[in-house]
Structures are given as structure tokens and as C-alpha cells.
A and B are shown apart, each in its own frame.
Chain A
Amino acid sequence: DTGVSQDPRHKITKRGQNVTFRCDPISEHNRLYWYRQTLGQGPEFLTYFQNEAQLEKSRLLSDRFSAERPKGSFSTLEIQRTEQGDSAMYLCASSLGQGRADTQYFGPGTRLTVL
């Protein structure tokens, strides 16, 4: 257990529905990241927060995706009008911001299946 928690762990939804995932980082970490991982591949970066500010967004993050970190603590990732191609593991990570020694700690992930 890295100290990063994600909820739910599994989500099955029908195409076209909206889903929301939550990430609780390690409490003193001011940096939070979302990644997406498909089977047999490494994680791909989606977005990054420093405190409550969303500072980076990948081109993978289409208009149907939105992420928030309202008080600089937990974060939510919402996918609207889900598509089958959204099926993946969504991983959250956090870090303390220690320059070149900055280690990202990952949560257990939320596995999304879109039927």
C-alpha cells in the first residue's frame, strides 16, 4: 500500500454514460497525476495538478474528460459519454515535489469497462 487510494476499484458502465473516479493522494503531497493504462502497455499521462491548479493536460484528454482538484487534496476524473475505447485502468499518482529526487507513488487504479 503506497498511501494513495482510488475509488472505485472497478467500474462497469454502458456506452454513453458518465463516470467519475476519485483519487486521494498521500496527505502531504502537493502534486497529483492521472494516467491511463491499457492492456499490455505502460501508463500514459493524462493530466497533472500542483495543489489545485491543473498545469498540464495531455492530448489524450479529450473534451469528454475533465479533472478537478478543488481544495488541493483529493481529485476527481470524470468521463462523459463514455465510449468502448475508454475501457482501461485509470491510475492516480502523487508526489512531494523534491526536484530530481521526486518519486511518484501510484494508487491501485480504477479499472473501467465500457460495454
Chain B
Amino acid sequence: KQEVTQIPAALSVPEGENLVLNCSFTDSAIYNLQWFRQDPGKGLTSLLLIQSSQREQTSGRLNASLDKSSGRSTLYIAASQPGDSATYLCAVRRGSSGSARQLTFGSGTQLTVLP
């Protein structure tokens, strides 16, 4: 059974700092990995998707990397802003066998960027 862990559970940084969020998963036979952002009481916003054959993806100030062999992904946020404050979730979709479409989520890292 796939398990996804995100450490730390909470992180507080001053504005302008670069930061890294970590995600680890137990089964390396993944199809893809997505990073999401969730604001309090709201749904999830997709940030980046990394296919299993890729090593990284970039969007603006965000860069996500994937190392399947070690079961790890990182989300790098450059020049953090107070508006980046949210919970960041990573989710993996397992290998393509059968109809295994669902995502398995970590519990998230709650990020606070202080002005």
C-alpha cells in the first residue's frame, strides 16, 4: 500500500526566503506526482505535475523535483511572499496497471510566510 509523508507538518518563514517542502512515498512504482495548494476551507489548486519519466517541473517561482528511486519529491518556492501562505499537499498516482487512477495524498505542510 502506498504511503505518502510530508515533513514538516508546519513551517513558518520570513518573507523573501527561499524554502523547500519535502514529500516521500513508499512505493516507487508511480505514474505521476502532483503538488497542490489548499487555502483554509477551500478546495485544492494544482500547482505542478511531474510525470514518472521526468525529473523536475517549473512554474514561475515554483520548482518541483522527483527522484523515484529514493521515493522523494521536493517543492522549491523562491522568494516567498505572504500570499504563498497555505497548506501544500503532494499526491502520487500509482503505476498504470489496471484502472488505478486515484491519488494518494500526504497530510500536507502548512506554510506561513511572515511579512
Residues on A lying within 8 angstroms of B by beta carbon are 2, 4, 6, 31, 33, 35, 40-45, 48, 50, 55-56, 58, 91, 93, 95, 100-109, 111
Contacts and interface: CB of A to CB of B under 8 A. Distances in A.
B102 A45 contact: yes
21 contacts: A2-B43, A6-B43, A35-B103, A41-B107, A42-B4, A42-B89, A42-B108, A43-B44, A43-B91, A43-B103, A45-B104, A55-B99, A100-B31, A100-B53, A100-B96, A101-B32, A101-B49, A104-B46, A106-B44, A108-B43, A109-B43
B52 interface: yes
Interface residues of B, number: 29
A88 to B, nearest CB: 13
B41 interface: yes
Contacts of B42: 108-109
Contact of A48 (B36, B52, B99): B99
Contacts of A58: 102
Interface string B82-94: 0000000101010
Nearest to A91: B43
B59 to A, nearest CB: 12
Given A33-B103, A43-B105, 7 more contacts: A2-B43, A2-B45, A48-B99, A48-B102, A58-B102, A91-B44, A93-B44
Interface in B91-115: 91, 93, 96, 99-108
Residue of B31, B53, B99, B103 with highest tally of chain A CB at under 10 A? B103
A20 B70 CA distance: 42
B34 A33 contact: no
B92 to A, nearest CB: 11
Nearest to A41: B107
Given A42-B89, A55-B99, A102-B32, A107 B43 contact: yes
Given A41-B107, A111-B41, A101 B51 contact: yes
B39 to A, nearest CB: 10
